[in-house]
Amino acid sequence: MKFAADSSLLMRLYVRGGDTETVERFLTEDAKVVSVSELARIEVLNILLRYPERADQFLADLQLGTQLKLEPLKWDDAFRQAESLARRFSPSLRPGGHDLFLVAAAVTMGATWFLSFDRNSRQRALASVAGLRVWPPLDKNEKGLARHASRTAS
């Protein structure tokens, strides 16, 4: 199993909130290591730089590589994957470009799981139809979007 995360999950590790303990428990089970793309790293760092100690901790955790691992990415492959996903699923899901690329990066890295709390976009449904397992599990609306996208994909 290989896990990839977006910033909505990663931020919960560094800015404590209601879901922080849930994320920590999930990652601690089986000592999961989360692959982080350069895109997600920059997105998280951009926010955490407002809190220098948290930014330093995030970068140290990436350097250590025991729970978070910066994953090298073949960018040409990721762009091709993003275009493929767009052609298949954009007519029905209408994901944002950033979300499309985060999912494409996860697929390109060989992830089997996509970890995200972002229920305000369609990236979780997109990850599901791209063949990734999603955590936390899709809600009823997201499952419906994924079913619809699967049926209408060209």
CATH of the domain at 116: 3.40.50.1010
pLDDT at residue number 154 = 58
Domain count, the chain: 1
133: which strand partners?
113
113: which strand partners?
3, 133
pTM: 0.93
Nearest to 102 by CA among 146, 41, 48: 41
What tokens appear for 136 in the block? 């936390």
Nearest to 72 by CA among 110, 38, 46: 38
Per DSSP, 46 falls in state: H
Distance CA(84)–CA(81), nearest Å, equals 5
Range of the domain at 49: 3-152
Q: Quickly tell me which residue has 């999930």 as its tokens.
A: 26
In tens digits, the chain (154 residues) has pLDDT values of 999 999 999 999 999 888 889 999 999 999 999 999 999 999 999 999 999 999 999 999 999 999 999 999 999 999 999 999 999 999 999 999 999 999 999 999 999 999 999 998 999 999 999 999 999 999 999 999 999 999 988 5
Question: Within 10 A of 14 (CB to CB), how many other CB atoms are there?
Answer: 17
Please check whether residue 140 is in contact with residue 29, taking contact to mean a CB–CB distance below 8 angstroms. no
